[in-house]
Amino acid sequence: MNLNQYDRSAFVKAVMDDVPSVDYKQRALDMTIAAVLKLLPKEVRAVYKLCPEYLDKNSPNTPGGLDEPYMPTPRTESGRSDYNCISKRDPETWAKLEELAELNKAQHNQRDALENKLIAVIGACRTLKQAQERLPEFAKYLPAERGTTGVSNLPVANVIADLTAAGWPKGNAKAPDA
């Protein structure tokens, strides 16, 4: 059986799904929210907990492309939102966020390198038999043998069934009610 692009992509995704990773973005998000809430006056914090929809929201800056929450931020003396409130007013938390940003970047680079290696390895295999011979450690990630009875066309059949159920082609008597 020849491997197609979907087989190769599914192989890479399955292997990468088994590579453990740490959600540094969620850790940073939680830390950012806690830091900004700590900077707000206790009365504002109470309102935020009870009725967050009544407060203006902005995104405080975080280092290294970490996710930024959309939440109330303290204002500067000029009355504008202080997007840099954490870096200015809580340098200890900012330092921890910078560490998380570096760890996130390193993990991202490592995972990208691994994924590129997997793409190259499976890309060198034209058939399932070649992949099984060359990559015995990855046997559980390889696709099952497809028969020659048209089973390989199942994804197309599913798409056609879904399109037909949605009223394709136009003018089909089974079109959904508008």
Boundary-marking domain end, from 90, 114, 134: 90
Q: What is the Cα Rg of the chain in Å?
A: 26
Q: What is the pLDDT of residue 7?
A: 93
More confident residue, 45 or 159: 45
Domain range for residue 36? 24-90
Boundary-marking domain end, from 62, 90, 118: 90
CA distances from 45 to 26, 34, 63, 68, 72 (A): 21, 11, 24, 18, 9
CA distances from 82 to 30, 71, 75 (A): 19, 12, 5
Separation CA 86–CA 95 (nearest Å): 10
Per-residue pLDDT reduced to its tens digit, 134-155? 999 999 999 988 765 444 544 5
- Its pTM stands at 0.67
Q: Is residue 69 part of a domain?
A: yes
* Cis amide bond preceding 169, omega within 30: yes
Q: What is the pLDDT of residue 74?
A: 73
Count of domains forming the chain: 2
